[in-house]
Amino acid sequence: MHLEGSCHCGAVKFSFTSHTPYPYGRCYCSICRKVNGGGGFTINIMGDYDTLKIEGEKNISVYRANNNHRGNYEEDGLGFSRRSFCSNCGTMLWNYNPNYGQWFYPFASAIDTPLPVAPEHNHIMLAYKANWVDVPEGPTEKHYDYYPDDSIESWHKDRGLYDESD
């Protein structure tokens, strides 16, 4: 599925292909919550990195956390994840980890193309959620203290939602 996104001020626009466009996962870790999650969580989808096209790249800054929940850091002491944001308006755009270089993880909140509605939601990293956040309950709401075993790709494939188009 071809997707387009942008920051709030319009200085950065981007497009890419996603085979996994359903915004089903809600991450409550402190990094996601603090850098992007106005509701106490953030939602990422997954895109093919080689298809990413950017307008206004000079307006992008990158944040790397010095503390993460996996205890996995590069030699400089910072986490592998690179969270790109607009240096003008602060909109979080995507997360990229060179260990998984074929993919990047756009924040659903930055996507302008209408996304499909997920049939269920995974609420992950609940061990780190803020106490004021209410997590929805019900048969379509799955709860995980940390990361689930399934990947974004396997979640989509297991439900017949993987988009094979380019």
Q: What is the pLDDT of residues 125-135, one digit of tens each?
A: 999 999 999 99
Residue for token pair 């756009």:
106
How many CA atoms, within 13 angstroms, populate the side-chain half-sphere of residue 149? 1
Residue range 37-59: mean pLDDT, rounded: 91
Burial 43-63 (b: 16+ CB within 10 A, else e): bbbbbebeeeebebeebbeee
Residue 34: the pLDDT is: 83
* pLDDT, tens digit (0-9, with 9 covering 90-100), for 66-116: 766 666 777 887 878 899 999 999 999 999 999 888 999 999 999 999 999
Give the pLDDT of residue 66. Answer: 78
Which of 37-41, 137-141, 147-151 is predicted with the least confidence, judged by mean pLDDT? Answer: 37-41
| Per-residue model confidence as pLDDT tens digits over 13-47 | 999 999 999 999 999 988 888 887 677 888 889 99
Q: Which CATH architecture has domain 2-158?
A: Beta Complex (2.170)
* pTM tops 0.85: yes
pLDDT value of position 37: 66
- Residue 25, strand partner residues: 122
Tell me the average pLDDT of the chain: 91
Left if phi > 0, otherwise alpha if psi is -120 to 50, otherwise beta: which for 160? left
Please list, residue by residue across 149-159, b when 16 or more beta carbons sit within 10 angstroms of its beta carbon and e when fewer do.
eeebeebbeee
